[in-house]
Amino acid sequence: MRLPDPCLVVLVGATSAGKTHWAREWFHADQIVSSDRLRAVVGAGERDQRASRDAFEVLDLIVAKRLRRRLTTVIDSTGLEERRRDAWRALAERHGVPAYAVVFDTPARVVRERNRALAAPVPSKVVTGQLRESSGIAERLAGEGFAAVHVPGPVALVPRAFVTAPAAAARQKEDPMKLDFGLQVSRFDWPDHPATTAATLAEVARAAEDAGFSSLWLMDHFVQIPHIGREWEDMLESHTTLGYLAGVTGRIRLGTLVTGITYRNIAHLAKIVATLDVLSGGRAVCGIGAAWFEREHRLYGWEFPPLGARYELLEDALELLPLMWGPGAPSFEGRTLTVSQATCYPRPLQERIPILVGGSGERRTLRLVARHADACNLFGDPETVRHKINVLAEHCAAEGRDPSAIEVTHFAPARVVASAEARQGAGAATVEEHVGRYRELAESGVQTAIVGLSDAEGAASVSRFGEVIAAFR
């Protein structure tokens, strides 16, 4: 039974059907919320039926708090009241947590024997009522909207992205699909940094080429961002670092995921990227986005315009950059900036440096992609990606553009671990699970999967991912 972490698990069955034993075998004690245990907390013991109302009041409060924090929660009660099941399932849905039911259809004889063996057995007539109510419960549960209804068995709690990965990995083995991979390096806190940073970064980049990554990406930030690390951790300036990477690699494409539109004069950015393209032998990719990290702007003294103004600047950049890299020196009059002569020598080696727009906002960002960009970068599960691609296709139709001209990339953290038991860190999974996950993304329309390794082990971590890439060659 592969269940996503987090999830809500509602146990359904009569007293002494084996629910508590099963829950303790497959879940951590802190994940289990037991009505019996709460009767002991608010009453005279686990069988104090007079304390049931208060116990369930506390149970509902605990479940609500845990689901709000998106924590895996197992409700160990009889689960036989439809009203309670509906309330728990609705609460889980409100917080984006899938709900599962596990039905314990234990023979009545076994239930009664186990109950009689208890120090304080439940009254026989209560057990009889529970057994009557549990008859045919699986069929009723199937129509209640649970993500799935299971019978008890071994459990593997896995990140949501990998729940259906084994079946998808089998599809990839039987009928392979192609998928390119990019590597994003977002942390530089390797051992003995910063003295070792240059050498370790070169090892990482060469390992990425050897492993089969087709592109190498850096974040365009000046302090570490909150959901990756702490503000005082090392953060290299992106375009300077890309120039260094151009010198220590020979094949891999180089870019930012993505350059913040507010950080540099746009004409100057065009010059920077053109220089990278020349010095890398035509391997530059220009990732660009509307910028979002307001604190970073305050720290460095940059203006942080309202979002609408940043989108106007982004569209100006999408129009100006190709002019700067193209023939002649035309003037440019945009919404927010003016360039008297789009002068940039030497020209890039590529006839057109690919422009990737980061973000997947359906109303503005994807419309700009359809109008101007060569690639987009999306987030989310395969269903979300498929929806975003359909929205992009609608924008392309409105712009009179072929959507196949736009490369679809996807970013997510990932790292390869030897076994599910070693799962630690964002996106940690086995080779098989990664193959399945990326197969599902390829089926949704992704052409390049950009991997943000969620550990800082340097080249060894990159090399381990090579087995995943090999499955898509």
- pLDDT tens, residue by residue, 127-149: 999 999 999 999 999 999 999 99
Q: How far apart are the first and last CA of the chain?
A: 31
326: which residues sit within 8 A by CB, 6+ positions away?
Answer: 342, 347
Do 179 and 139 fall within a single domain? no
Is 269 or 421 the better-scoring residue by pLDDT?
269
Would residue 160 count as lying in a domain? no
Would residue 243 count as lying in a domain? yes
Asked if pLDDT for residue 314 goes beyond 60, the answer is: yes
Residue-wise pLDDT for 320-370, tens only, equals: 999 999 999 999 999 999 999 999 999 999 999 999 999 999 999 999 999
Do 6 and 143 fall within a single domain? yes
According to the model, what pLDDT value does residue 50 have?
87
Number of domains making up the chain: 2
As a whole number, mean pLDDT of residues 7-22 equals 97
User: What mean pLDDT, rounded, does the chain reach?
Assistant: 95
Share of the chain above pLDDT 90, in %: 91
Do 174 and 141 fall within a single domain? no
The strand pairing partners of 260, in sequence order, are 289
Domain that holds residue 414: 166-470
Do 144 and 201 fall within a single domain? no
Do 70 and 120 fall within a single domain? yes
Asked if pLDDT for residue 253 goes beyond 80, the answer is: yes
As a whole number, mean pLDDT of residues 183-193 equals 93
Do 31 and 137 fall within a single domain? yes
Do 150 and 190 fall within a single domain? no
According to the model, what pLDDT value does residue 418 have?
85
Is 313 or 455 the better-scoring residue by pLDDT?
313
Would residue 161 count as lying in a domain? no
According to the model, what pLDDT value does residue 48 have?
83
Would residue 147 count as lying in a domain? yes
Do 199 and 112 fall within a single domain? no
The strand pairing partners of 307, in sequence order, are none
According to the model, what pLDDT value does residue 454 have?
63
Asked if pLDDT for residue 28 goes beyond 70, the answer is: yes
Do 123 and 194 fall within a single domain? no
Domain boundary among 154, 178, 209: 154
State the CATH number of the domain containing residue 125.
3.40.50.300
Residue-wise pLDDT for 32-44, tens only, equals: 999 999 999 999 9
Do 120 and 230 fall within a single domain? no
Would residue 159 count as lying in a domain? no
Residue-wise pLDDT for 72-89, tens only, equals: 999 999 999 999 999 999
pLDDT-based confidence at 456, cuts 50/70/90? low
pLDDT-based confidence at 267, cuts 50/70/90? very high
Lowest mean pLDDT among 164-178, 354-368, 452-466: 452-466
State the CATH number of the domain containing residue 230.
3.20.20.30
pLDDT-based confidence at 455, cuts 50/70/90? low
Do 67 and 44 fall within a single domain? yes
Asked if pLDDT for residue 300 goes beyond 90, the answer is: yes
As a whole number, mean pLDDT of residues 292-298 equals 96
Would residue 347 count as lying in a domain? yes
As a whole number, mean pLDDT of residues 425-445 equals 94
Would residue 48 count as lying in a domain? yes
Domain boundary among 101, 124, 154: 154
Domain boundary among 154, 177, 207: 154
Do 200 and 140 fall within a single domain? no
